[in-house]
């Protein structure tokens, strides 16, 4: 319920933890990366440091500039990247996705310094079904249209 004049004391955003891997070398990060599940993002992208750790030559990827709803932009280099979603709904095994995903040189803008990744349409939503139940539940399952 939105009460006029009320002060918002807590902002809840849809974050999930995933693991990145390089499908060419099979190298995994070995740690969980906190990512924003962003239904409005056309692309999936991560901090440059994660790509370097996995052995990518970041600048050798396809360069794109991504513009957001507010007009801000992020520059990224796209590569074939793997993400692993652990503990999906109704599955014992994790969901592995390989697709074109970007790495942001120098990291995300200062307005979003805490995140390591943004999960968008290409690289995430076209492979999975995501169910949000405010304020904290996010359930992920494999897109049954892909089977």
Domain 15-146: top CATH class = mainly beta
Cα separation, 76 vs 64, in Å, equals 6
For 17-32, the DSSP string reads EEEEEETTTTEE-SS-
Domain borders along the chain are: 15-146
Q: What string of pLDDT tens digits covers the 147 residues of the chain?
A: 555 655 656 667 788 889 999 999 988 888 888 899 998 889 999 999 999 999 999 999 999 998 877 777 889 999 999 999 987 666 668 899 999 999 999 876 665 555 689 999 999 999 999 998 877 788 888 887 765
Considering the entire predicted model, what is its pTM?
A: 0.83
């Amino acid at each position: 319920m939105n009460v006029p004049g009320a002060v918002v004391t807590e902002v809840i955003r849809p974050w999930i933890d995933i693991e990145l891997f390089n499908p060419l070398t099979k190298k995994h990060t070995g740690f969980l990366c906190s990512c924003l599940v962003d239904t409005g993002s056309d692309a999936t992208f991560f901090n440059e440091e994660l790509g370097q750790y996995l052995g990518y030559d970041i600048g050798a990827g396809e360069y794109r500039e991504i513009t957001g709803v507010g007009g801000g932009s992020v520059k990224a280099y796209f590569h074939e990247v793997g993400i692993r979603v652990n503990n999906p709904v109704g599955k014992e095994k994790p969901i592995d996705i390989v697709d074109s995903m970007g790495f942001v040189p120098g990291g995300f803008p200062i307005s979003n310094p805490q995140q390591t990744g943004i999960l968008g349409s290409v690289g995430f939503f076209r492979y999975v079904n995501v169910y949000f139940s405010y304020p904290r539940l996010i359930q992920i399952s494999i897109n049954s249209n892909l089977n």
